[in-house]
């Protein structure tokens, strides 16, 4: 792999950019790998990357039924933050956030991480209490956040209307080190690094069956033939129930559609990320100038990657009240992704009833921000059988009543 | 836009008039059941790619709960029916079989 650098750009400029090589190889699958990862999204590729980087396991295949990063990795609103209430969540999201800080250097790939700061608006008295509590919890967890008053919110976000008709802004939870990153580049950067370590990324290769003998996985059937493996990692979103069924067990998740939309590009007007959980809307401005807007999930099971129109209407209506200037914007694109939601709104990074099958799923509405931390923990779990970061996220927690209850912790937008 | 006909008041209601209530025909487990059964009842849902039975409430209408059979892959609605039943009525099952020949009514887990 040729390194990207300022020198490389200058060199290619002189020879009409004919020397750039493909960022990753697209090989045909081998008969057997030590580890197979299903799902070449951010989480799957990060898992493969850390298996190679931290544990020297490079005989790895990453299988993808569509194209690389074409699922929720390319559909999210790219927000990165770690201001969660519960200790296990704060630990893994903060690990992820800190890995994002050096990701461009580590991968030699510009992921455009922009630590511009994230505000979560408090628009009811309950939210005020909730976010103050989260700020205290974060102080104990070593996550740098603070409670800020409305005047400071206005200073950070001049376009905001503090005196909204329904929900006035009463303050906010401010994480200065949060921000955004280019989501495609995260998947592409990891893919390039994995390929350089000799791993095979096999796109358009759908898993059609999981083979196990005596309660232990031996391989998978795919649209490109059978492939054997010692260990199998299921790192998929939107299809994890379907995949686990092939392996003969069930996961405590339900799949629903989550939507986002972007406006036409405009001049820079907001240099932080603003989330308004009471009214189900969040917004940031991309480097291109588009306002990137995310909304809430539908209430019913759905695999179509299309959401209900009235949810968009609700989101835009809410944002109109909080950011009056948005009412003059044209929206360019709208799309949906399928998110897997668990009972406590926290993910599963877990061993499964079948030996040597591991699952990393159920990230619900907040997976992108966790990608490096999730890959780090999943790789550790797969390589050593134990990961301190992943321990609490075992699927056994539902049986034991050890929930990581973020659904009422006012730390999650959904 | 999802449109369901309320089997009680007969109104063809669109989504904003309705509230989704999750999977239908759950068998409830309580005192005296095993840990496994209670866990599955609380947390395990079918989450199928395809035919799904679910509870809906005609929230901004007659206010009654009813059941709907719907495909999660195409959003096609096979029909709605009364909530006073433990499994989908035969005409709904037949209608689904007509459109999804390999479909079978699951054992209630």
| Contact call for A299 and B74, based on CB within 8 A | no
B77 inside 8 A of chain A by CB: no
- Let me know if the fold of A27-78+183-252+344-409 is the same as that of A113-178+255-342: no
> Is residue B16 less than 8 Å (CB to CB) from chain A?
yes
* Beta pairing, strands A281-285 & A273-276: antiparallel
The correct CATH number of A27-78+183-252+344-409 out of 3.40.50.970, 3.30.1490.20, 3.40.50.720, 3.50.50.60 is 3.50.50.60
pLDDT tens, chain B, 109 aa long: 899 999 999 999 999 999 999 999 998 998 999 999 999 999 999 999 999 999 999 999 999 999 999 999 999 999 999 999 999 999 999 999 999 988 887 654 3
What is the predicted ipTM?
A: 0.91
Cβ of B75 and A304 within 8 Å?
yes
In CATH, A113-178+255-342 is 3.40.50.1370? no
User: Is the whole model's pTM more than 0.90, yes or no?
Assistant: yes
Which residue segments constitute the domains of chain B, with CATH numbers given? 3-99 (3.30.2270.10)
Cβ-defined contact of A399 to B49 (cutoff 8 Å): no
Average pLDDT over residues A279-296: 90
Which residues lie below 8 Å from residue B40, measured CB to CB, with a gap of 6+?
A: B29, B109
Question: What is the C-alpha separation between A111 and B32, in angstroms, rounded?
Answer: 54
**Cα A105 to the chain's mean position, in Å?**
20
Minimal Cα–Cα distance from A364 to chain B, Å?
14
Please tell me the distance in Å from A149's CA to the nearest CA on chain B.
Answer: 35
> Contact B1/A299, CB-based, under 8 Å?
no
Best residue in A237, A254, A301, A407 for a mutation probing chain B (most B CBs within 10 Å): A301
Name which of B41, B43, B71 to mutate to probe chain A: the one with the most chain A Cβ atoms within 10 A of its Cβ. Answer: B43
Question: pLDDT (tens digit, 9 = 90+) per residue, A88-141?
Answer: 999 999 999 999 999 999 999 999 999 999 999 999 999 999 999 999 999 999
Residue A158 C-alpha, separation from nearest chain B C-alpha, in angstroms: 34
Q: What residues does each domain of chain A span?
A: 27-78+183-252+344-409, 113-178+255-342
Contacts of A284 (CB under 8 A, 6+ apart): A77, A78, A79, A116, A180, A270, A272, A273, A274, A291, A292
| Bridge partner residues of A221 (DSSP) | A209, A226
Residues of A in contact with B45 (CB under 8 A): 252-254
More confident call, B57 vs A238? B57
| Structure confidence by residue, pLDDT tens digits, A139-196 | 999 999 999 999 999 999 999 999 988 889 999 999 999 999 999 999 999 999 999 9
Residue contact B15–A308, C-beta within 8 A: yes
CB contact under 8 A, B2 and A300: yes
- Given a cut of 60, whether residue A413 has pLDDT beyond it is no
């Amino acid at each position: 792999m040729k390194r990207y650098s300022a020198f490389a750009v200058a060199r290619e400029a002189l020879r009409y950019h004919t020397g750039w090589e493909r960022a990753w190889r697209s090989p045909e699958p081998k008969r057997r790998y030590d580890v197979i990862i299903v799902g070449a999204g951010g989480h799957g590729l990060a898992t493969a990357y850390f298996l190679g980087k931290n544990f020297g396991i490079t005989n790895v295949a990453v299988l993808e039924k569509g194209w690389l990063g074409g699922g929720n990795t390319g559909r999210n609103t790219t927000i990165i933050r770690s201001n969660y209430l519960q200790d296990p969540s704060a630990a893994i999201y903060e690990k992820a956030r800190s890995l994002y800080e050096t990701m461009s250097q580590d991968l030699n790939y510009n992921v455009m991480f922009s630590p511009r700061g994230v505000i979560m608006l408090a628009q009811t008295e309950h939210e005020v209490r909730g976010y103050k509590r989260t700020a205290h919890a974060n102080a104990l967890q070593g996550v740098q956040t603070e409670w800020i008053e409305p005047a400071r919110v206005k200073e950070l976000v001049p376009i905001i209307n503090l005196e909204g008709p329904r929900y006035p802004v009463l303050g906010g939870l401010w994480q200065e080190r949060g921000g955004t990153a280019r989501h495609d580049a995260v998947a592409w950067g990891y893919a390039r690094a994995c390929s350089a370590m000799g791993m095979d990324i096999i796109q358009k290769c759908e898993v059609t069956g999981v083979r196990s003998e005596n309660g232990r996985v031996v391989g998978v059937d795919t649209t490109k033939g059978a492939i054997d493996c010692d260990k199998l990692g299921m790192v998929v979103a939107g299809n994890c129930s379907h995949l686990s069924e092939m392996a003969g067990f069930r996961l405590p998740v339900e799949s629903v559609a989550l939507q986002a939309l972007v406006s036409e590009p405009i001049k820079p007007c907001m240099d932080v990320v603003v989330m308004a959980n009471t009214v189900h809307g969040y917004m940031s401005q991309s480097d291109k100038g588009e306002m990137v807007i995310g909304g809430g999930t539908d209430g019913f099971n759905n695999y179509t990657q299309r959401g209900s129109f009235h949810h968009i209407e609700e989101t835009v209506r809410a944002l109109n009240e909080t950011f009056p200037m948005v009412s003059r914007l044209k929206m360019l694109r709208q799309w949906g992704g399928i998110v897997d939601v668990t009972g406590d709104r926290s993910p599963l990074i877990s061993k499964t009833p079948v030996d040597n099958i591991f699952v990393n799923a159920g990230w619900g509405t907040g997976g992108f921000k966790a990608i490096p931390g999730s890959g780090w923990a999943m790789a550790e779990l797969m390589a050593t059988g134990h990961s301190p970061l992943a321990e609490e996220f075992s699927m056994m927690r539902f049986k034991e009543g050890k929930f990581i209850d973020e659904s009422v912790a006012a730390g999650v937008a959904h | 836009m999802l449109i369901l006909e309320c089997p009680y008041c007969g109104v063809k209601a669109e989504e904003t008039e309705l509230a989704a209530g999750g999977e239908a025909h759950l068998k409830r487990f309580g005192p005296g059941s095993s840990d496994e059964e209670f866990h599955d009842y609380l947390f395990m849902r079918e989450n199928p790619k395809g035919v799904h039975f679910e509870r809906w409430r005609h929230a901004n209408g007659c206010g009654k709960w009813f059941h709907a059979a719907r495909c999660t892959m195409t959003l096609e609605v096979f029909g709605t029916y009364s909530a006073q039943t433990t499994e989908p009525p035969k005409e709904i099952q037949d209608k689904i079989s007509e459109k999804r020949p390999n479909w079978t009514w699951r054992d209630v887990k």
